[in-house]
Amino acid sequence: MNNCILSGRLTRDPYKKDSGAHFTLAVDHDYKDKDGSRGVDFLPISVFGKSADQVCKYLAKGDEINVLAKASSYTNASGAYKISFKLQKFEFVKVKYFDSNAADTTDELAPEEPESTAAENAPCTSDQDDVNE
């Protein structure tokens, strides 16, 4: 079974690219380093289908969420080993924006990716700077 449960904060607003939404989740370590500070992992998260629209609409930089995701690993063009996560479910913990009419995001997400549309690669936000791939 390939399921990861993560809890953290969004490092920036989600953005749309390649028929999905993407964001980075900052996850604190549960232990302290020798100098007494806690480390942080920055994990790339992707989501596709209708939930990509929900992520873009309701999540923003600094929001704290819990995530159920599937992990995958690959080696990029420069030979670096990378891990990415495909969102399966998420739940709000602390968010800046709350709409009482918001859709229930704990439903299962569609397993297949939607067909490409004219809106592909359109940003959820106007800020596309500093996007790591």
Any idea which architecture 1-32+39-125 has in CATH?
Answer: Beta Barrel (2.40)
Q: What are the pLDDT tens digits along the chain (133 aa)?
A: 789 999 999 999 999 988 899 999 999 998 888 888 889 999 999 999 988 998 999 899 999 999 999 999 999 999 999 999 999 998 988 766 555 544 444 444 444 444 444 444 455 653 444 444 4
Pairing of strands 20-32, 64-75: unpaired
12, 27, 52, 68, 82 from 3: Cα distances, Å = 24, 16, 19, 7, 17
pLDDT at position 21 is: 96
**Confidence (pLDDT) at 125:** 57
Structure tokens at 68: 């159920």
C-beta separation of 124 from 14 below 8 A: yes
